[in-house]
């Protein structure tokens, strides 16, 4: 007996210690027993509890479901369920996992039920919080203008946002859990995987350009991929891609435009050059032909002496030599490769430039006045540098050739000045300058004020590109007013800055 009562006490204290809510009810739903956790919850003694039903403890709304469950148990079912209850006393909403079983008497008649409930409110709250956070994250990931995915080392998609799903024309659920090659064409998957794998092996973030192609079109992406370890230590790669197709197209168009412009510029420079060659050849050709016809005539009249013959032949030979030299200058200008960067002396480049174009200028009585120090050089591609200068000078010629005022001495000044940081190659003409409203536009491609047959508007654009991109310095333009031989002139002044840091200056000569 003693032994048995000890067992009952032990049992009661065990029931009180299990950390679960344990209770029994009779067939009317009235409590017949509850452990201390239940009593604490209701803040009631066991005597007060016995005989009361759930209406006493819980608010009405939730109770129906609970009684429904109880009824099934009274019919012999065992149920395990989740219950949500609001405790009347405190107004608190709590979540339970409850197991309810029928209680039988010795004749196997159901006389009530017993229940064990575990409070899962904390987990539930945490779960809800996580769910809310996940929902929040999903909303962001699905609405951000980027393709986001996660892939593990077996090339299985662990996550894709809705943009990726739309791109692959499947739902996210159809993609997640699948190997990439089952979702997209193998070659495309392989090319994505290349950089994914790099991230997984190096465990470093990478940024790369990628493309995706289906039957209809090809799109380009800028992707950032980072290594990411899941809670279960699975290494994955997390990718963020943005669509740069439009940018790429614009870039391609620009490149194509640039190529066309460059080509046009080259052709138009060539045209100008041929004009210059023709100019330079006119005089020697006249000399050659008159020497030849003179010799022939004298020979026919039998008055040609040997000495004169030799002199004329030498003369012809000299002129031919000159022709050959000039054509060689032009040839080397056209053939020189555009990447050949070397030390270029400013003064000698200016002189080379002038020698290429001088005849066309002298036709219109345009003089060059060069005031440049001797030994100043910098590294650049001389050919491009000369082309940049020619384009500027040709514009001066174009305005000056229309000036027919006898008092107007037509000039182009080429000066080298400096300040603390830079040298400046200044090209000034006295052609009355550029209209104020055009000053901003003259470096734009296709901006011209000339008739279609006279100009395409790419001369200064090319110059600008050469100075900025190849010589990597700056050019600007202003209108200036200055005095020359006691007369005031207006004109355009182009100024090319060359940083002193890139100047190679040779100070004097040593003996
Ligand atoms: N020295 C200058 N004096 C007055 N206007 C100038 C001068 N240089 C350039 N301009 C103006 O700038 C415009 C653009 O010059 P740019 O060399 O780019 O094209 P263009 O000479 O018109 O044609 P292209 O050089 O292609 O044959 C010219 O049409 C002209 O109006
Ligand atoms: Mg021009």
pLDDT tens-digit profile of 203-248? Answer: 999 988 988 887 778 889 999 999 999 888 999 999 999 999 998 8
Distance CA 183, CA 190 (A): 12
> Strands across the sheet with 342-345, in order?
342-345, 376-380, 503-505
Instruction: Kindly report, as residue ranges, where domains of CATH 3.30.565.10 are found in the chain.
Output: 256-505
- Asked if 434 and 442 touch (Cβ cutoff 8 Å), the reply is yes
Q: Is the CB of 492 under 6 A from ligand 1?
A: yes
Q: How far apart are CA 359 and CA 346, in angstroms?
A: 21
Ligand 1 pocket test, candidate residues 261, 265, 395, 476, most atoms within 8 A of CB:
395
pLDDT of residue 360: 83
Comparing 264-268, 396-400, 435-439, the range with the smallest average pLDDT is 264-268
How far, in Å, CA of 435 to CA of 425, rounded?
22
Nearest alpha carbon to residue 376 among 344, 353, 354: 344
Question: Cα of 64 to ligand 1 centre, how many Å?
Answer: 91
Distance from C-alpha of 180 to C-alpha of 478, rounded to nearest angstrom: 61
Q: What is the pLDDT of residues 353-393, one digit of tens each?
A: 998 888 889 889 999 999 999 989 999 988 889 889 999 99
The predicted pLDDT at position 323 comes to 82
Q: Say if ligand 1 is within 6 A of residue 73 CB.
A: no
Nearest-CA residue for ligand 1 atom 9 is 395
Rounded to the nearest angstrom, the gap between the alpha carbon of residue 136 and the centroid of all alpha carbons in its chain is 29
Quick check: 336 pLDDT over 70?
no
Distance between Cα 449 and ligand 1 center (Å): 7
Query: What value does the mean pLDDT take over residues 331-344?
Result: 72
**Does residue 479 have its Cβ closer than 6 Å to ligand 1?**
no
Lowest mean pLDDT among 202-211, 251-260, 311-320, 502-511: 502-511
Question: What's the whole-number average pLDDT of the chain?
Answer: 89
Q: Which residue has the higher pLDDT, 447 or 413?
A: 413
- pLDDT at residue 64 in the model: 87
Q: What is the pLDDT of residues 73-92, one digit of tens each?
A: 999 999 999 888 888 888 88
Q: What mean pLDDT do residues 168-183 have?
A: 94
pLDDT of residue 8: 78
CB environment 177-193: b (16+ within 10 A), e (fewer): eeebeebbeeebbeebb
Question: What is the 280 CA–ligand 1 centroid distance (Å)?
Answer: 24
Whether residue 487 has its Cβ less than 6 Å from ligand 1? no
2-119, CATH topology level: Beta-Lactamase (3.30.450)
387 lines ligand 1 (CB under 6 A): no
Is pLDDT at 313 greater than 60 in this prediction?
yes
For the CA of 454, the nearest atom of ligand 1: 27
What spatial distance separates the first Cα and last Cα of the chain, rounded to whole Å?
131
Residues of the chain with CATH 3.30.450.20: 2-119, 144-243
327: nearest Cα among 354, 356, 292: 356
256-505: what fold? Answer: Heat Shock Protein 90 (3.30.565)
CATH code of the region 144-243: 3.30.450.20
Nearest CA to ligand 1 atom 27: 455
Q: How many other CB atoms are there within 10 angstroms of residue 441's CB atom?
A: 15
C-beta separation of 135 from 122 below 8 A: no
Pairwise CA distance, residues 412 & 429, whole Å: 4
Residue whose CA lies nearest to ligand 1 atom number 28: 448
pLDDT at position 63: 86
State yes or no: pLDDT of 337 exceeds 70. no
The C-alpha atoms of residue 314 and residue 310 are separated, in whole angstroms, by 6
Ligand 1 geometric centre to CA of 476 (Å): 14
Tell me which residue of 248, 313, 472 sits closest to 381, measured CA to CA: 472
Vertex 286 angle, CA 357 and 277, to 5°? 25
- pLDDT score of 488 more than 80: yes
Please name which of 77, 249, 230 lies closest in space to residue 156, comparing C-alpha atoms: 230
Q: What is the pLDDT of residue 278?
A: 76
Confidence of residue 37 (pLDDT cuts 50, 70, 90): very high
Q: 443 alpha carbon to ligand 1 midpoint, in Å?
A: 9
Nearest CA to 369 out of 384, 354, 357, 391 is that of 354
pLDDT at 171 over 90: yes
CB 44 within 8 A of CB 37: no
Reported as a pLDDT band with limits 50, 70 and 90, residue 1 is: very low
Phi/psi-derived region of residue 66, left when phi > 0, alpha when psi is between -120 and 50, beta in every other case:
alpha
Tell me the CB-side half-sphere exposure of residue 243, using CA atoms within 13 A. Answer: 13
Q: What is the pLDDT of residue 290?
A: 87
Taking 90 as the threshold, does the pLDDT of residue 398 lie above it? yes
Phi–psi pair at 422, nearest 5 degrees: -130, 160
Listed residue (414, 423, 422, 468) closest to 443, CA to CA:
468
User: Mean pLDDT across the stretch 284-289?
Assistant: 86
């Amino acid at each position: 007996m003693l032994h048995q009562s000890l067992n009952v006490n032990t049992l009661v204290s065990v029931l009180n210690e299990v950390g679960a809510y344990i209770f029994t009810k009779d067939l009317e739903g009235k409590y017949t027993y509850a452990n201390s956790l239940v009593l604490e919850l209701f803040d009631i003694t066991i005597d007060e509890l016995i005989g009361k039903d759930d209406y006493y403890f819980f608010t009405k709304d939730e109770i129906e479901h609970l009684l429904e469950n109880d009824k099934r148990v009274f019919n012999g079912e065992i149920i395990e369920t989740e219950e949500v209850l609001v405790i009347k006393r405190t107004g608190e909403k709590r979540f339970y996992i409850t197991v309810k079983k029928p209680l039988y008497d010795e004749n196997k008649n159901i006389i009530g039920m017993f229940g064990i409930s575990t409070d899962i409110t904390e987990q539930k709250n945490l779960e809800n919080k996580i769910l809310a956070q996940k929902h929040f994250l999903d909303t962001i990931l699905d609405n951000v203008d980027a393709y986001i995915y996660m892939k593990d080392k077996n090339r299985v998609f662990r996550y894709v946002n809705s943009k990726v799903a739309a791109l692959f024309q499947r739902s996210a659920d159809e993609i997640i859990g699948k190997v990439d090659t089952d979702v997209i064409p193998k070659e495309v998957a392989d090319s994505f995987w290349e950089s994914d794998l790099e991230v997984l092996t190096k465990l470093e973030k990478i940024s790369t350009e990628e493309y995706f192609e289906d039957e209809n079109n090809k799109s380009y992406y800028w992707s950032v991929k980072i290594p990411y370890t899941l809670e279960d230590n699975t290494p994955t790669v997390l990718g963020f891609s943005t669509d740069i197709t439009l940018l790429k197209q614009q870039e391609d168009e620009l490149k194509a435009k640039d190529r066309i412009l460059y080509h046009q510029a080259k052709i138009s420079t060539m045209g100008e050059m041929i004009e210059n060659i023709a100019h330079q050849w006119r005089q020697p050709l006249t000399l050659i032909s008159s020497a030849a016809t003179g010799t022939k005539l004298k020979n026919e009249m039998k008055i040609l002496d040997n000495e004169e013959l030799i002199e004329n032949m030498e003369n012809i030979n000299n002129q031919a030599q000159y022709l050959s030299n000039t054509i060689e200058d032009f040839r080397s200008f056209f053939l020189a490769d555009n990447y050949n960067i070397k030390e270029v002396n400013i003064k000698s480049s200016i002189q080379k430039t002038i020698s290429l174009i001088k005849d066309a200028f002298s036709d219109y009585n345009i003089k060059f006045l060069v005031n440049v120090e001797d030994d100043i050089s910098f590294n650049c591609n001389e050919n491009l540098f000369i082309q940049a200068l020619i384009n500027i000078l040709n514009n001066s010629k174009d305005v000056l050739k229309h000036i027919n005022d006898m008092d107007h001495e037509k000039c182009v000044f080429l000066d080298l000045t400096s300040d603390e940081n830079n040298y400046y190659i200044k090209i000034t003409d006295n052609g009355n300058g550029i209209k104020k409203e055009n000053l901003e536009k003259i470096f734009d491609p296709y901006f011209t004020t000339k008739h279609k047959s006279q100009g395409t508007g790419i001369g200064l654009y090319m110059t600008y590109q050469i100075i900025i991109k190849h010589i990597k310095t700056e050019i600007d333009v202003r209108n200036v007013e200055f005095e020359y031989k006691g007369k005031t002139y207006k004109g355009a002044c182009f100024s090319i800055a060359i940083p002193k840091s890139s100047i190679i200056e040779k100070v004097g000569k040593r003996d």
